[in-house]
């Protein structure tokens, strides 16, 4: 077992569970964003500290796409028990790492359905596999982008950056999401962990991604709204930009990101033109 497994697992569970549980409270979620940005002041958040990467990699769900619709459908599948969403998400992330460390692999969608069935069983909620799949997959295919995303991506393209998605979701799933969200044209390439059967934040996923793009670690930047993803990228030697979406916080024991922003529009102002 890799020594980093338990630290990675703690990152996944703590940051994601906290994010899901407080995201339903707009006032509290916004205060979290404000506090995260305040804590980051003076910690390499100005444009002077960001060098132009050769490739900017993007996480997809929550970073680019708004998961509100999926949260609602999953909560309904659990009998209206929105309080169980953190347990479901942490269970899903937990078992993605179980797959990575045991040498098995299932798609993130399969793990999500299995985890939803596990939570339902624990809580005594009747739920079929088909109902669980419908609750997750149906809204996931057509999630809208956050308001700052399209304009931000266009500015990055205009500045000459190569943009690549790097996600735990399947190749087919991300293609469908991008097509329905009208984001396909912004990306030069889409990378999925299903091609190497290892989930982020295993550092080998980031090493594989830069090898695919033919660049060194110091020439890569990850943009993500998940503290566990930022932790993995920084450990792999990348630059990292944390988008503090409502309810999202950093893992305080991981390496710090190079910048913390409230949206993609703020990040683009910190990056110079691509070299």
Find how far residue 235's CA is from the centre of its chain: 16
Where in the chain are the domains? 31-66+143-268
Q: What is the pLDDT of residue 39?
A: 44
Per the confidence metrics, is the pTM higher than 0.75?
yes
Distance from C-alpha of 162 to C-alpha of 52, rounded to nearest angstrom: 11
Report the CATH superfamily, name and number, of domain 31-66+143-268.
Answer: HAD superfamily/HAD-like (3.40.50.1000)
The per-residue pLDDT for range 117-135, each reduced to its tens digit, is 999 999 999 999 999 999 9
Q: What's the pLDDT at 260?
A: 97
User: Positive or negative CA dihedral for 25, 27, 28, 32?
Assistant: positive
The distance in angstroms from the start CA to the end CA of the chain is 40
pLDDT at 247: 86
Count of beta carbons in the 10 Å neighbourhood of residue 198: 21
pLDDT on residue 211: 98
> What residues contact 93, with CB distance under 8 A and at least 6 apart?
12, 13, 16, 228
- Structure tokens belonging to residue 113: 């359905």
The residues facing 165 across adjacent strands are 58, 190
Q: What are the angstrom distances between the C-alpha of 141 and each of 71, 105, 118, 137?
A: 13, 22, 23, 6
pLDDT < 70 stretches in the chain: 1-49
d(CA 232, CA 76): 33
The span from the CA of 88 to the CA of 70, in Å, is 12
> What does the pLDDT read at residue 49?
65
Note the pLDDT tens digit of each residue in 50-104.
999 999 999 999 999 999 998 899 999 999 998 998 899 889 989 999 999 999 9
The torsion angle over the Cα atoms of residues 146, 147, 152 and 158, rounded to 10 degrees, is 120
pLDDT on residue 221: 98
CA angle 141, 144, 145 (to 5 degrees): 120
pLDDT of 144: 97
């Amino acid at each position: 077992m890799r020594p980093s497994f338990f630290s990675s697992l703690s990152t996944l569970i703590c940051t994601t569970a906290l994010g899901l549980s407080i995201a339903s409270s707009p006032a509290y979620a916004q205060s979290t964003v404000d506090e995260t940005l305040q804590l980051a002041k003076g910690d390499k958040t100005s444009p002077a500290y960001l060098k132009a990467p050769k490739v900017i990699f993007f996480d997809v769900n929550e970073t680019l796409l708004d998961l509100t619709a999926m949260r609602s459908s999953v909560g309904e599948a659990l009998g209206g028990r929105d309080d169980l969403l953190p347990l479901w998400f942490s269970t899903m992330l937990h078992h993605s790492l179980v797959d990575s460390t045991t040498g098995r692999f299932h798609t993130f969608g399969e793990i999500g359905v299995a985890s939803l069935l596990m939570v339902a069983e624990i809580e005594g909620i009747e739920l079929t596999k088909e109902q669980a799949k419908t609750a997750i997959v149906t809204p996931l295919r057509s999630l809208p982008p956050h308001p700052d995303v399209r304009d931000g991506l266009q500015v990055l393209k205009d500045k000459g950056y190569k943009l690549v998605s790097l996600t735990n979701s399947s190749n087919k799933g991300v293609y469908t999401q991008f097509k329905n969200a009208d984001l396909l044209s912004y990306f030069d390439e889409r990378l999925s962990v299903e091609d190497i059967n290892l989930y982020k934040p295993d550092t080998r996923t980031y090493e594989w991604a830069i090898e695919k793009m033919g660049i060194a670690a110091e020439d890569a930047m990850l943009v993500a709204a998940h503290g566990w993803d930022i932790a993995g990228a920084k450990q792999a030697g990348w630059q990292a930009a944390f988008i503090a979406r409502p309810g999202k916080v950093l893992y305080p024991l991981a390496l710090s990101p190079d910048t913390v922003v409230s949206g993609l529009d703020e990040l683009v102002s910190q990056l110079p033109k691509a070299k």
